[in-house]
Chain A
Amino acid sequence: DTAVSQTPKYLVTQMGNDKSIKCEQNLGHDTMYWYKQDSKKFLKIMFSYNNKELIINETVPNRFSPKSPDKAHLNLHINSLELGDSAVYFCASSQVGPSGGEQYFGPGTRLTVT
């Protein structure tokens, strides 16, 4: 069974569109995250959720909104997509909060905005 899964794997869309990426973890973890990995492979945390509460919100545009219907899911919704949003987005989860503990990553979603 896949521990952390994301859909879709690839997403190609045009500027101005709205899209969502879904993430599910079956590890029973309390904290989930979204990361953005740019073309230089730098991995930057965007959001984390602990028991449905947003505990980290880095300086990302408000066009990005995380939504967590339950502890096992953390979806990422993006409004008015821009060229600069093209990147690989990773979902992750951990048993403890962002101060420590192993993070388990999904396979990533490669977003291409044209």
Chain B
Amino acid sequence: TQLLEQSPQFLSIQEGENLTVYCNSSSVFSSLQWYRQEPGEGPVLLVTVVTGGEVKKLKRLTFQFGDARKDSSLHITAAQPGDTGLYLCAGTGNQFYFGTGTSLTVIP
């Protein structure tokens, strides 16, 4: 059983479309991070959310931490081919857990 489940696992969309990736758990986390991993490279941190209900925006990306600090979402507006990659959520508590990952492909 994975501690952090992401959905969808795979997502292929056309350039300009919007999308949302979900990260769900039954556990409460002190904070939640989102990383993006491009092929052949390691994950790179996009954002950290700490407070329940917190919303952070990074250009076309909007991140939300659930009120109960058990889940999070990542919304991308007007996706671009450069957004293609593997998106990973990661929860911090006593330890550090990565989610199952969402592979996003944006088609030009």
A interface vs B, CB < 8 Å? 4, 35, 40-45, 56, 90, 92, 98-103, 105-108
Contacts and interface: CB of A to CB of B under 8 A. Distances in A.
Describe B's contact surface by its main secondary structure: strand
Contacts of B96: 45, 98-100, 103
Given A98-B96, A99-B93, A103-B45, 9 more contacts: A4-B42, A41-B86, A43-B88, A45-B96, A45-B97, A45-B98, A98-B95, A105-B43, A107-B40
A100 B48 CA distance: 10
Contacts, number: 56
Interface residues on B, range: 20 to 34
A106 B92 contact: no
Contact of B98 (A4, A43, A100): A43
Interface in B56-108: 86, 88, 90, 92-98, 100-101, 103
A43 B102 CA distance: 12
Interface of B: 2, 30-31, 33, 37, 40-45, 48, 86, 88, 90, 92-98, 100-101, 103
Nearest to A110: B40
Nearest to A98: B96
Contacts of A42: 2, 98, 100-101
A99 B30 contact: yes
A68 B44 CA distance: 24
